[in-house]
Amino acid sequence: MTPDRVRAIRTALGMTQEALARELGVTLSAVRSWERPADSPHHRTPGGAAVKSLERLEAKKNEGA
């Protein structure tokens, strides 16, 4: 999942990075690192469970749209 997609999902949900971190049960620094540009030395890609949770949140948002 790209940094832009993570950010797009989060902003579409109207969530701060901190709120998304709480929702996913991860640290704020994890969310920040997912949203950093891919060529940044501190960029990390979300793991499988986080990706599934992000996709679930996105789908839930789209159902309500």
Pick the CATH number of 3-64 from 1.10.12, 1.10.260, 3.30.1120, 1.10.10: 1.10.260
Q: Which one is predicted more confidently, 42 or 49? A: 49
The predicted pLDDT at position 41 comes to 86
Domain boundaries, the chain: 3-64
The predicted pLDDT at position 58 comes to 93
Q: pTM for the complete prediction?
A: 0.85
Answer whether 4's CB lies under 8 Å from 32's CB: no
The predicted pLDDT at position 26 comes to 96
